[in-house]
Amino acid sequence: MTRPLRSLRNRLTLIFALIVTAAIGIVYFYVTPRLEDELVSQKLERLATDAQRQGDPMRDFVGHEAMQETLENTTNNAARFSNSEVTVLQVNPRDPSQLLRVADSDPGAAALADVQGIAEEAARTRNIVTGTAQTDVGRQALAAEPLIRNRRIHGVAVFAGSLDDVEANVELIRQRILVAGAIALAIAVLGGFLVARALTARIARLERAARKVAAGDFSNPIHADSDDELGQLAATFDDMQRQLARLDTARKQFIASASHELRTPIFSLGGFLELLEDEDLDEETRAQFLAQLRGQVARLRKLATELLDLSRLESGALELRPEPTDVGQLARDIAGEFTPAASAHSAELQVRAAPEPIEIECDPERVAQVMRILLDNALVHTPSGTTIVVSAAREDGHVTLEVADSGLGIRNQTMPHIFEPFFTSADGARGAGLGLAIARELAERMHGHLTVRSSPGATAFKLTLPG
């Protein structure tokens, strides 16, 4: 059974839900308490301002028994103005450390014990003091204003305002946050589910296509349906599928061509062996058959070597061994190897290389292999009496090795295919058509390139290597 969280769709939906839940939690547990503190702070500031403003008239009446009625009226007016309960405490003349309540705008609301502490602190510090207290009528905001006359503390006016409205507003905000959060969470889960389902549907389409490609079916192209990352992945996958299709076609053609090339000499060998079993065969004919057998064996050996080289090149298994090499001397040595073959072909073989060394860091054996392929190709595909020129030079920071001939040239329709494996021209020349394909692969492995230019009466293959 598949675990739910292994599904990308479920994980994306869960991530959306967790993000929204975290946001709601931050607002509920962090922002809301800070908002409540801010509202309480504002309430205390307003209450302190009212206490300072309304406390001034009281300092002239507190401590005078004859003005008790005026003090009570002033207290009631201050309470109405500030929309709070005002309690006036007088310093006891017999015990200055004791405060006595002498006026109260709302007796019974805030008990003396509720305001006693903040009043004593204001009397001690001779400054206005604010704070909150939990009373029998709920949580209260308190502001205590010392009543100073002639530099003496005669009493303290305590302004008390209920914080029920603040708590009610904060509670309402909390409820709204929870409701809005629940709606947002539902929308996020639904949206996350829909988005994740759309994404997983596109991914599933790529997965189905990948399985078909793995099974060898390249017939279903994947069209990019958007410009986002998945669209770019689909385009890349489609390009990969086209390349794999071309490689698969080339592989099948390679196998078919290799089978054909191998079958021909094998059938020839079988036929010659049957002929050689004839006891009445004369020695001269037998010698001719044996020479042809040796030729077919040599052809098989060359074909097997070329197939192995091409396979190692395409798989990247061929190891290069670079070392300082004089390519001018290398060109002269390789040309010397082909002198007998050129004489047999009645061809004139020339070497054009500067007498001073042309040294580069390269694998001399692989460079020599490319040169042998090009020289053999020139001798095979040109008529007798052709001039073949091997040259080595340094040009624009590179080293070039060129094999040019004055043969018939390469036809235009043939030119695009000469470096393809098993491609042979229609001139009836021997060979499996692997030499130039191997030469091109070797050139690219050595970070160089092999080019050709041809016209009637002139063909030149040039190997360019980094200097």
Write down the pLDDT at residue 425.
59
For 238-264, the pLDDT digits (tens) are: 888 888 777 777 666 666 656 656 666
Which H helix or E strand runs over 66? Answer: none
For 410-463, the pLDDT digits (tens) are: 888 888 888 877 666 545 444 456 778 888 888 988 999 999 999 888 999 999
Q: Are residues 157 and 259 in the same domain?
A: no
DSSP state of 279: T
**374 in a structural domain:** yes
End-to-end CA, the chain: 63
* Encoded amino acid at 159, one letter: F
**309 in a structural domain:** yes
Give the residue numbers spanning the domain of 411.
323-466
Instruction: Report the percent of the chain where pLDDT is more than 90.
Output: 22
For 38-55, the pLDDT digits (tens) are: 999 999 999 999 999 888
- Kindly report the CATH number assigned to the domain that includes residue 459: 3.30.565.10
Q: Are residues 12 and 133 in the same domain?
A: yes
Please name which of 38, 271, 28 lies closest in space to residue 171, comparing C-alpha atoms: 28
pLDDT at 464 over 90: yes
Q: Are residues 149 and 271 in the same domain?
A: no
Q: Are residues 306 and 340 in the same domain?
A: no
Q: Are residues 284 and 416 in the same domain?
A: no
Last residue of a domain, one of 168, 193, 219: 168
Provide the sign of the torsion angle of the four alpha carbons 296, 299, 300, 301, taken in this order: positive
Mean pLDDT for the chain overall: 83
Query: Higher-confidence residue: 328 or 216?
Result: 328
- Number of domains making up the chain: 3
Q: Are residues 15 and 110 in the same domain?
A: yes
Beta bridge partners of 103: 88
**424 in a structural domain:** yes
Q: Are residues 282 and 394 in the same domain?
A: no
Tokens of 203: 């991914």
Q: Are residues 63 and 150 in the same domain?
A: yes
Burial string for 125-149 (b: 16+ CB within 10 Å, else e) reads eeebbbebbebebeebbbbbbbbee
Last residue of a domain, one of 315, 340, 365: 315
- Kindly report the CATH number assigned to the domain that includes residue 265: 1.10.287.130
Last residue of a domain, one of 284, 315, 346: 315
Q: Is 448 helix (H, G, I), strand (E, B) or coil?
A: coil
**411 in a structural domain:** yes
pLDDT at 388 over 90: yes
* Encoded amino acid at 135, one letter: T
Are 104 and 87 contacting, i.e. CB atoms less than 8 angstroms apart? Answer: yes
Contacts (Cβ under 8 Å, ≥6 apart) of 147:
55, 58, 59, 62, 88, 153, 154, 155, 156, 157
Q: Record the pTM.
A: 0.47
